[in-house]
Structure 1
Amino acid sequence: MLDVAPMDEGWILRHDGAALPASVPGCVHTDLLAAGVVPDPFLGRNEAAVGWVGRREWTYERTLGPLPGGHERTDLVFDGLDTAAEITLDGRKLGSVRNMHRSHRFDVTGLEGLLSVRFRSAHAEAEAVRGLLGERPNAYPEPFQYIRKMACSFGWDWGPTLVTAGIWRPVRLEHWSTARIARVRPVVTVEQGLGRVELLVDVERTAGRAGLALSARAGGAETRVEVVGTGATVLVEVPDPELWWPRGYGEQPLYEVELTLSDASGPLDAWRRRIGFRSVELDRSADEHGSGFTFVVNGERLFARGVNWIPDDALPSRVTRERYRTRLAQAAAAGVDLVRVWGGGIYENEDFYDACDELGLLVWQDFPFACAAYPEEQPLRGEVEAEARENVVRLMPHPSLVLWNGNNENLWGFRDWDWERPLAGDSWGEGYYLGLLPRIVAELDPTRPYAAGSPWSGSWDRHPNDPAHGTHHSWEVWNRRDYADYTLEVPRFVAEFGWQAPPAYATLRRALPGEEPAPDSPGMLHHQKAEDGNGKLARGLAHHFAVPEQGFSEADFDRWHYLTQVNQARAVAAGIEHWRSNWPVCAGTVLWQLNDCWPVTSWAAIDGDGREKPLYHELKRLYADRLLTLRPGPGGPVLAAVNQAARPWRSAPVLRRMSVDGAVVAEAVVEFDAGARAVARLPVPGELRPAGPGEFLVADADGLRALHFPAPDRDIPYPRPRFDVSVAPGRVTVTAHTLVRDLLLQADRLAPSARADRGLVTLLPGERVTIGVRGWETPDTADAVTARSALYCVEPAR
């Protein structure tokens, strides 16, 4: 039987004659941090102080002792090397590698001695390839498109420049004889109550030609076939399998599949995975609105409630199975049912996809190309094909995976970012996205759809980012326009949109030691990577709030911090409420972004320390099965009842026209009937429409509330907020005596470990809210004063 021996221990890191203990999996940065050689690049402005690390060569070494007997063959297997490296054993070259996204296998039978993995600087490798193939345009200054490595290692508009190197995934020895299972490609289908698991198996043999057999089991069924040559197909049929569903639509049953390779003496090797039975289609058919982009799972059309995922750490080898599970469970708890793995990152490891399988999170997987023109010549083309083939097969078992996507914004970039002229006919990646990658997916994984890119309208006859066709990225809002403009169009599928805000207060305090934060303090500006990010934050606030003429000072920081987080939540709400209320024309929103890779001002809902911003809690409302919203319409406000549940939603909401001082000006009860997976829209009666900035509209139904304020906050004559606060272990209760708009408990101001169970809440006079708090001890009622200091709300303009 194949014997696996992990090789994670005993490594050292060498550079300039020095030797340090090395952790494998890991990277140079983590080893230097552990040894105290470099400061934490996430803190202060230390990022610049460690820039030299990515421009040096580094060598990992360990001794490979005598190999055990009893096997014909021993392979040295690296699951991931980052990135350009030469591997030698006892001075003998085993091979050279240049792709972070691939595994590598070397025959070391009978060898021993010093094992050395020498990494070339990724900068040097990329610059050498650029010199060979010529300049290509790029959205960022670093040459990341010339090397098959996590692009955002070179910095992004939310990430640091930390160009890593190292053995970033596990390494092991595999001892085997006669034959081993080299590759298994599971094609899983279900039709008319019959599940089919077709295992296409490649076998590697030693010199012998012994008779071999493959047996497979799944769902209580078993099949055995003889192996002729170096491959075979094993079909297992499972009658009446339980279907795997996205969360919110059903359960997520998973079936164990076990494949065993044997000869006359017994088992030689085994392969085990979990699968799920489900069908997936992508409806891109034309209609009166353009051409759609609607996911259909098990015949059920769904509005995708999505988030974009970036690597959860700028040093990705630090992301553990537990951390994947925590972050993805946070997404599921917020109502998310689709996670897009963005193309400037990596193919995540099995722990990520396992968690998505279990949580019912659909996965949209980008191939790793983003925001640049990518050469299609060697040495890159062969690497691209090899990595795509390996990762398509590796990820095929996961039922959560529902889409392969060719790239992020490169088709759009060619059209709109002035690439065509400087390229002058040179290759730029189109051959990958419209040729190579769809051929590989069609050949290897025919049960899943492929999209050429995001955004992509389906044809060069249309603009790549045409909102009426396919996927759309909505970035005019945030970059140049206010979020109110989300309501001006109904894209078919919004694959990126978002608004920035700073991270939680405790995250900033940890990230900026010794600095009193201000919007423009040195550390804050260093942890703001977006072009004119603070300017866009300021202009976004000015559309809605009265802001100081000279901007927010250090003394105003707490107010600025609160208001920018409020504006982020409101901006995202404006988009999602509008687009969900226009289902089925719009069939999905994918927020930019769920997570951060370090402490930074960004578009994330969960900051770099894992703390949840107000936006995260707002997503729970926005992505719930049932959403009540008051939308602006050409004839006045419209009440929309969005029902993504499987049962109809019939209700009689109470609509109240109120003044900001708390008086009810008019009231009415209306009725709606929203069918399953449908939207009901009701015009608000004329007598209930607010008559100026001093009035607003409230709709309540089945525990849900919608609010409509007809003017920006700066023009609303809010009363000075008055409320009482009481505390008890695990909770803070607020009782309002006036209108209290967007009340927020920043629990991390009470204690860095404290978490609140809700975000922004608006209270009418006399209403009360109890906020659950974990991680803060509240021994007596005197702590009400402390709790009040962590409470913020919108105040009247000065």
Structure 2
Amino acid sequence: MDRVRNSSPADASALLPFTATNLTEGWSFKQVHDDESGTGWLPVKKVPSMVHQDLIDNQKLDDPFVDFNEIKAEWIAKTSWLYRLHLSVPERHHDSRIALAFDGLDTLAHVRLDGETVLKCNNMFRTYRVDVTDLVKNKSEDHVFSLEVELDCALLRAREIERAHPEHKWITFNGEPARMAIRKAQYHWGWDWGPQLMPSGIWKPVRLEIYSARIADVRVDVDISRDYETASVRASAEVESETSELELKFFVRRVGKTIASSVVEVKDGSSVTTFEIGQPALWMPAGYGSQNLYEIVTVLTYKGRELCSETKTFGIRKAELVQEPDAVGKSFYFRVNGVDVFCGGSCWIPADSFVTNITPKKYRAWIELMVAGNQKMIRVWGGGIYENDVFYNACDELGVLVWQDFMFACGNYPCHPELLDTIEVEAVCNVRRIRHHPSVVLFAGNNEDYQVQESNGLTYDFADKDENNWLKSDFPARYIYERLLPGVIASEAPSIPYHPGSPWGDGKVTFDPTVGDLHQWNVWHGTQEKYQIFDSLGGRFNSEFGMEAFPHLATIKSFVTDPKDLYPQSHVLDFHNKADGHERRIATYLVENVRPVSDLPGYIHLTQLVQAEALMFGYRGWRKQWGENRRCGGALVWQLNDCWPTISWSICDYYLRCKPSYYALARVMAPIAVGVKRKHHDWSVSHARMPALSEWELWVVSSKMEDTMVDVELRFISVGIGKEIKPKIVKKGVTVNANGTTNVLAGTIDNVNEDSHVLAARVFVDNEIIARDMDWPQPLKYLAFPKRNVKVEIRDDKMHVTVDRPVKCLVFEEREGCHLSDSAIDLAPEDEQVITVRGLNSVEVPLSWTYLGAGEQ
């Protein structure tokens, strides 16, 4: 903050109100040395922007997302780029200040105004404000300024820093080790689901600000009484000014009405006031209550004249991370306003390799998908970016809880003083920006850096609390995660819980299932366990787990231009799958579970079915464990989304086309869901010999806050002929425990004397079906699928589906503009299911569909 002197102008009109001009248009750019592109100055459509997109807009670069074009774009990351804008500075006043505000420059930027250096930037994640008052006021009123932003080559500079610190152990899981040397989005360097493009640019807005005084920061701290009947709202603001006799007016508003206000004199550049709110409207996650939001409006005045104002939304809520000793070890779950919340949800990566292309509409569409899929939490992964404000706004408004990683991922980060200094500024900057969002309920120090420490035998003695020892060790980043970042949270956002890393648990090994959170990758990676036992592999909170699947055919055709490459193991398809060993891993899970096919549409369906099954087995079991004394506090699938059109672990692809797993998880996460399963039998170990008897169990889970009376039905239906092989079981008047699990039925299957059959469970409330589940004999490849009669009858915006025999994973086409209420469904005879289709024009061709075994008939 600049506070040069305190003085009072002769009258209020002498002070200029704060004005900000967004510098979005009129920019041009070129390669600094211009020795490869040979393009000279080219126009920029708009700022924010990135070099790759600007080259595409000027037809100087083919889309890197298509075919092998990623390779053709590699040269862009090996050079420096220059952006230029000619601008005039409007009204100037002898008492006003003039500043350039940069919300984000990626990454090593040198900013010049009329050739004079005004800023050198080394951190993509922080904001910069540069006072250029003296430089501007020395020029005439009609002077046209030249603003230049030179973006140095981050790739080469990072490698130089790496070489300059040979004493550090540069160890990573993904990308090259040099990525840890600078504060740039780590996924830019390539990841096991994304391309190596190394974009750069003016990635956030640039503004020219003119003011006599401005509000530099507004903070809201909320304290709620134990009975939630009253809330104390402390509002504080920091002011930058050279003028005295300023006042701040604070207004608390709800639904457009002012419910409290206060006027406070500005002293020593700050003001603070407290409001007591009776009967507060609480903010709750989706499915647990309303997403009530308040506004704090702060107005800076001088002698009654408004100079500057700022508005922030906030919610009245208390968020707790409950970690208490119990019979298993130590709990790990979230409690919001006294309500325990099972946090089923997803991990989030940046939704584009070029984040400036993600529109507010697309951000909101992603969060709307989560809510429609009954997901409660999204984890902003530590190798991407601190997300755009509209992302957090959407989470606030739609009720999705946010687990926010700090931007460190899969590496042993160095801690030389210059880097620590910029990391601290970065942390303060971003915590201040997002701390008012009620959706943000956790800050976590990093992603998998403690796993890097473990796997490489780096020094970590949890009992040693000497911070100097940490910095001198070969794992110095412990200082960041256990001293620097928690210190920032304690100072800037003390009401939001902090967790040192993901995974992490009280200094124990990161794979300890009794404490902390867990990344369970022994399905797919690691020991490649059968996905049917996913639930037995979990911990207290499963913050990563996953299974790969191909996207829908329309998405594949968006990046494969030659029809001859449209087969399962084509060169182009393998190039777009960045996961190490993906060929073997996909093949393993397919050959273990389903019969092989060679055509691409059939292959896509099988990979999607396996993903849906795998994730369902995990989610379903872990949600059951939630009701067993909070044994499992949540499950966040890796991953919700993609940053380009690809084959990955996402459950919805780059174009927001939902894979079958999205729908499978939505059913498991419904307010009331039923689960039925037979005990796992490892057919590989037993050489495909079935046991004489198989045990099965049926349970119902609920997230409702009150007990629910239901009826439960279980049918035993032959896979081959579609008939019930024995009488169904009906249990009426079952009380389903609130926010918990209710065990309902159990029994055995006679594998010797009974046909192969499914267990088809349904739950009714007032004779209406509210939940279904179906357990199939495993593995599915052993089942014969004689011809099924599948009928899809369209009536208005609904598809009525019936079958004569059990059907596995009936998947509908994901057409752009259409939204399905369900898909990837299992069906039983005499149980019509109705799918609502939103956005399908009546004159369009009906959606296509397929199911397991359809190609065999």
| Cα shift readout 1:703-723 (whole Å, capped 9, x = no counterpart) | 222212232111123323233
1:723 aligned residue: 790
Partner of 1:21: 43
Aligned to 1:478: 524
After the TM superposition, which of the residue ranges 247-256 and 182-191 deviates more from structure 2?
A: 182-191
Kept in 1, the 8 Å contact 2:442–2:499? The answer is yes
The residue that corresponds to 1:323 in the other structure is 362
Query: Where does residue 650 of structure 2 map in the other structure?
Result: 604
Asked if 1:402 is matched to 2:464, the reply is no
Counterpart residue number, 1:341: 380
Number of corresponding residues? 778
Aligned to 1:56: 79
* Contact 1:477 1:485 survives alignment (8 Å): no
- Answer with 715-724 or 147-156: which moved more: 715-724
Q: 1:438 aligns with which of 468, 483, 486?
A: 486
Aligned to 2:140: none
**Which residue number corresponds to residue 180 of structure 1?**
214
Displacement of 1:545 after TM fit?
1.2
What is the letter of the counterpart of residue 510 of structure 1? S
Encode CA deviations 1:650-688: one digit per residue, 9 max, x unaligned: 223122222221121222223532211010113423478
Structure 1 window deviating more from structure 2 (538-547 vs 433-442): it is 538-547
Q: Distance in 1 between matches of 2:223 and 2:74?
A: 49
Contact 1:545 1:797 in 2 (8 A): no
C-alpha contact 1:722 1:737 (8 A) present in aligned 2: yes
Cα 1:418–1:44, aligned 2, differ >3 Å: closer, same or farther? Answer: farther
Residue of structure 1 equivalent to 2:329: 290
One of 760, 768, 778 as aligned partner of 1:711: 778
> Is the 8 Å Cα contact of residues 453 and 475 (structure 2) preserved in structure 1?
no
Answer whether contact 1:639 1:683 (CA < 8 A) is retained. Answer: yes
Spell out the pairing of 1:540-619 with structure 2 (5 A cutoff). Answer: 540-547=589-596, 553=598, 556-583=599-626, 584-619=630-665
Q: Does 1:217 align with 2:251?
A: yes
Instruction: Judge conservation of contact 1:260–1:267 (CA < 8 Å) in 2.
Output: yes
* Residue in 2 that maps onto 1:113: 145
1:169 lines up with 2:169 in the alignment: no
Contact 2:697 2:747 in 1 (8 A): no
**CA distance in 1 between partners of 2:552 and 2:415 (Å):** 42
> Match of 1:659?
718
Residue 96 of structure 2: aligned partner: 72
1:529 counterpart letter in structure 2? K
| Root-mean-square deviation over aligned CA pairs | 2.2
Aligned counterpart for 1:701 among listed residues 753, 760, 763: 763
SS at match of 2:593: coil
1:585-624, Cα deviation, whole Å (9 max, x unpaired):
1111111111111111111111011211111111220111
**What CA deviation, in whole Å up to 9, does each residue of 1:68-118 have, x standing for no partner?**
223521110011101101001111110200111111111111526211100
Conservation of the 8 A alpha-carbon contact between 1:741 and 1:762: yes
Does the CA-based 8 Å contact 2:707-2:735 persist in structure 1?
Answer: yes
Alignment partners' CA distance in 2, 1:170 and 1:773: 39
Change (3 A) 1:650 1:691: farther
1:689 & 1:698 partners in 2: Cα distance?
A: 17
Letter in 1 for 2:572: G
SS in 1 for 2:238: strand
* Residue in structure 2 matched with residue 648 of structure 1 by the alignment: 707
Deviation at 1:508, TM superposition (A): 0.6
Q: Matched residues in 2 for 1:733 and 1:791: separation?
A: 15
CA contact under 8 A between 1:281 and 1:296: conserved in structure 2? Answer: yes
Counterpart of 2:256? none
- The answer to whether the aligner puts 1:681 opposite 2:681 as a matched pair is no
Q: 1:691 to 1:401 in 2, by over 3 A?
A: farther
Q: How do 1:67-216 residues align onto structure 2 when only pairs under 5 Å count?
A: 67-70=90-93, 72-109=96-133, 110-111=135-136, 113-134=145-166, 135-142=169-176, 143-177=178-212, 179-191=213-225, 192=227, 193-206=229-242, 208=243, 210-216=244-250
The CA deviation at 1:200 is 3.0
Cα drift, residue 629 of structure 1:
0.5
The alignment partner of 2:625 has SS state of coil
Q: Which segment is superposed worse, 481-490 or 393-402? A: 481-490
> Residue 637 of structure 1 aligns to a residue in which SS?
strand
Return the alpha-carbon distance in structure 1 between the equivalents of residues 713 and 547 of structure 2: 32
TM-score between the two structures when normalised by the length of structure 1: 0.93
Is the alpha carbon distance of 1:753 and 1:56 closer, same or farther for their aligned partners in structure 2, counting shifts above 3 Å?
same
Q: Distance in 2 between matches of 1:302 and 1:755?
A: 28
Unaligned segments of structure 1, at least 5 residues: none
- Following TM superposition, by how much is the alpha carbon of 1:492 offset from its aligned partner in structure 2, in angstroms? 0.8
Which of 286, 297, 312 is equivalent to 1:258?
297
Distance 2:375 2:513 in 1: 23
Which amino acid in structure 2 is aligned with residue 679 of structure 1? T
CA distance in 2, matches of 1:113, 1:342: 40
* Aligned counterpart for 1:229 among listed residues 268, 289, 310: 268
Change beyond 3 A, Cα 1:539–1:89: same
2:667 pairs with 1:621: yes
SS in 2 for 1:645: coil
Is the contact between residue 655 and residue 688 of structure 1 (CA under 8 Å) also seen in structure 2? no
CA-CA distance at 1:126 after TM superposition: 1.3
Task: Identify which range, 182-191 or 37-46, moves more after superposition.
Answer: 182-191
Contact preservation (8 Å) 1:218, 1:238: no
Amino acid at match of 2:780: D
2:654 aligned counterpart, secondary structure: coil
Q: Report deviation, 1:416.
A: 2.2
CA separation of 1:387 and 1:377: change in aligned 2, threshold 3 A: same
In structure 2, relative to structure 1, the CA distance for the partners of 1:753 and 1:252 (3 Å cut) is: closer
Unaligned runs of 5+ residues in structure 2 are: 1-16, 137-143, 254-258, 461-470, 681-693
Tell me the residue number matched to 1:456.
504
The answer to whether the 8 Å contact 1:528/1:534 transfers is no
Match of 1:360 in 2: 399
Change (3 A) 1:115 1:747: closer
- Structure 1 residue aligned with 2:466: none
Structure 2 length as normaliser, TM-score? Answer: 0.87
Question: Measured at CA, do residues 774 and 242 of structure 1 come closer, stay the same or move farther in structure 2, by a change above 3 Å?
Answer: closer
Residue of structure 1 equivalent to 2:551 = 503
Is residue 35 of structure 1 aligned with residue 97 of structure 2? no
Contact 2:406 2:446 in 1 (8 A): yes
Aligned partner of 1:245 in structure 2 is 284
Separation in 2, partners of 1:35, 1:309: 31
Give the whole-Å Cα distance in 1 for the aligned partners of 2:304 and 2:827: 74
SS of the equivalent of 1:653 reads strand
Q: Helix, strand or coil: the match of 1:131?
A: helix
Cα pair distance change 1:108/1:687, threshold 3 Å: closer
Query: Does 2:826 align with 1:762?
Result: yes
Letter in 2 for 1:21: P
For residues 840 and 109 of structure 2, what CA distance do their matches in structure 1 show? 49
Assess, with a 3 A threshold, how the Cα gap between structure 1 residues 261 and 776 changes in structure 2: closer, same or farther: closer
Mapped contact 2:458–2:474 kept (Cα < 8 A): no
Shift in Å, 1:43: 0.9
Once the two structures are superposed, residues 289-339 of structure 1 have per-residue CA deviations (whole angstroms, 9 ceiling, x without a partner) of 011111010011111122111101110011111111111111111001111
Contact 1:245-1:360 at 8 Å conserved across structures: yes
Taking the aligned partners of 1:689 and 1:650, their CA distance within structure 2 comes to 34
Equivalent residue letter for 1:706? D
Residue 692 of structure 1, CA deviation? 5.9
The structure-2 alpha-carbon separation of the partners of 1:768 and 1:92, relative to structure 1 and needing over 3 Å to count, comes to same
Q: For residues 183-212 of structure 1, what are the alpha-carbon distances to aligned partners after superposition, in whole Å with 9 as ceiling and x for unaligned?
A: 222212222522222223222223x4x222
* Partner Cα distance (1:115, 1:686) in 2: 76
Distance 2:91 2:428 in 1: 33
